[in-house]
Amino acid sequence: MKSFALLRTNTGLTTNVKIMVDSSYGLSLDSIESVQELATTRLKKVTFNKKNYFDELVPYFFKDFPTETAFAIKYEDDSDSMTDSFASQYDEIYQYGARNIVSNKDYSEEFEYFAPLHIVKGKMPKAFAIFRVDGPGMIKLDRNNIKDEIFENFKTVKVFDLTKKTTLGEWIDLNFINNRYFPDAPFEMSFDRLEFSQWNGIDYDSGGYTTKSLFMDDFVEEEKEIFEYEKFVFDGFRSNKIVYPNIINFSFLFDDTPADANGLKKWSINRYYGFYIENMDLVKTMSPYRVPFLKGDVSVQKGNVLHSASGDPFIEGWSDSRPFYVEYLGEYYKVEKFVERQKATLKPIVNKAPAPSSRAALQMKSRSKEAPIPLSVDRLSGPLEDSIANALSNRGGIGSGVTI
């Protein structure tokens, strides 16, 4: 199993802290404002370096704050209220996605991409990429149009390197890849009598990774709904003052100034999509050219000549108005049309009929003068040569093909 992104974080497990990564890989801690107490300036842009351990940063960040505040989940006591506004029904502060933070004076970047990551020890992604799709996207998306409307319109805005080539990558390696104290599992349940179940994670008060144990015999013996069991385990992290170790709330900061053929567009409405990437392949060249499809019977003959028994090797047909390329093993090869002038030979006419009259002999002699003219192999291109080739083809001595 590998690390993966979460569409929504849970501050009841992670506490209301997030890792801010600016466009220059500067690192800092910031609070998620689930309650008013977390909006204080003391919990804003608390910088740290690549040698700091996350399990030591959490208690330092929340020093003197009670666990009820640190683990708080936004609730406005409105469960009995009804509204027709989606913004009033859904708390977006925990949602995976991009938002404008131009009003946040602590950071110079214009946008933040909140991307919670569920961590599997030693199996971290290599990068985080942010793409833009122009326009507000006031269309209905489904599996039939998402490729054309979204994926084929991606424009790369920013790529964050999560490997050891950057300070962020070094910090990740120190804390989640080569940290022998990082727990193998956040919770270990035992169904045996008189055996402890364990909550593993960061000690909220003193820091470091710790384990808190509990006999669950009484709880297990009673019939419970699955929701009750999940709530018991969930509340166990806060009641034991343990921070869930496997979810990190990352926020990546970036700027973007879209442009079109007429210039930069400072004011625009766009959509942003972010993805954790396991591997990145180096692409040396890119081209908008779309390779034409070859027919199924095409073969490459000696001299890199494309041959098709049906004539033209391309499904859409050859055209002199644009260049043609074929792709082989990632490389593009230009296709050129050529005309081959075949060498003609005179063949004796064997007459098995009785001796012709003088007039018939004269006609035969006249026809022999119109025999094909001997020609050599050549490649022609351009209007003048095409005219010559067309003229020769009317005399039966021309073959044609394409070469790469």
| Cβ proximity of 254 and 130 under 8 Å | yes
Give the Å distances, CA to CA, from 266 to 98, 104, 153, 258, 270. Answer: 18, 19, 20, 7, 11
| Predicted local confidence at residue 168, as pLDDT | 96
pLDDT (average), residues 23-48: 94
| Predicted local confidence at residue 398, as pLDDT | 41
Please indicate, yes or no, whether the overall pTM of this predicted structure exceeds 0.95: no
Q: According to the per-residue pLDDT averaged within each range, which of 64-73, 87-96, 136-145 is highest? A: 64-73
Q: Which residues, other chains included, contact 100 with Cβ-Cβ below 8 Å and sequence gap of 6+?
A: 110, 111
Q: Comparing C-alpha atoms, which of 129, 189, 115, 120 is closest to residue 157?
A: 129
**Model pLDDT for residues 219-250, shown as the tens digit of each residue:** 777 787 888 888 988 999 999 999 999 999 99
Residue 157 or 189, more confident: 157
Residue 89 or 187, more confident: 187
Q: 98 burial class (0-12, 13-18, 19+ CB within 10 angstroms)?
A: buried
| Predicted local confidence at residue 359, as pLDDT | 52
- How does DSSP classify residue 94? G
| Predicted local confidence at residue 381, as pLDDT | 46
* 109-144 per-residue burial string, b: 16 or more CB within 10 A, e: under 16: bebbbbbbbebebeebbebbbbbbbeeeeeeeeeee
Residue 142 or 404, more confident: 142
Which of 134-143, 201-210, 389-398 is least confident?
Answer: 389-398
Which of 98-102, 172-176, 282-286, 399-403 is least confident?
Answer: 399-403
| Predicted local confidence at residue 225, as pLDDT | 86
| Predicted local confidence at residue 289, as pLDDT | 76
pLDDT at position 214 over 50: yes
**Model pLDDT for residues 261-271, shown as the tens digit of each residue:** 787 877 888 99
Average pLDDT of every residue of the chain:
83
**Model pLDDT for residues 245-259, shown as the tens digit of each residue:** 999 999 999 999 887
Which long-range contacts does 209-213 make (Cβ < 8 Å, 24+ apart)?
209/55, 209/181, 209/182, 209/183, 209/245, 210/242, 211/183, 212/236, 212/240, 212/241, 212/242
pLDDT at position 89 over 80: no
Report CA torsion sign: 207, 97, 236, 193: negative
**Model pLDDT for residues 331-370, shown as the tens digit of each residue:** 888 888 877 777 777 777 766 655 555 454 444 444 444 4
Q: Which residues, other chains included, contact 36 with Cβ-Cβ below 8 Å and sequence gap of 6+?
A: none
Q: How far apart are CA 299 and CA 306, in angstroms?
A: 6
- Note the residue count of the chain: 404
Domain ranges in the chain?
A: 4-180+246-277, 183-244, 299-403
| Predicted local confidence at residue 58, as pLDDT | 95
Q: How far apart are CA 50 and CA 167, in angstroms?
A: 6
**Model pLDDT for residues 287-327, shown as the tens digit of each residue:** 777 888 888 888 888 888 888 888 888 888 888 888 888 88
pLDDT (average), residues 179-187: 92
Q: How far apart are CA 234 and CA 199, in angstroms?
A: 10
Q: How far apart are CA 395 and CA 254, in angstroms?
A: 69
pLDDT (average), residues 87-111: 87
Q: Which residue type sits at 360?
A: A
Give the Å distances, CA to CA, from 301 to 176, 306, 330, 404. Answer: 55, 6, 20, 10
| Predicted local confidence at residue 400, as pLDDT | 45
Q: What percent of the chain has pLDDT over 70?
A: 85
* DSSP-derived 3-state class of residue 116: strand
Partners of residue 334 on adjacent β-strands: 325
In the structure encoding, which two tokens stand for residue 352, read together? 């098995």
* DSSP-derived 3-state class of residue 339: strand
**Which secondary-structure segment (H or E) carries 256?**
none
Q: Outline where DSSP puts E strands in 40-163.
A: 46-47, 97-100, 111-118, 127-134, 155-161
| Predicted local confidence at residue 52, as pLDDT | 95
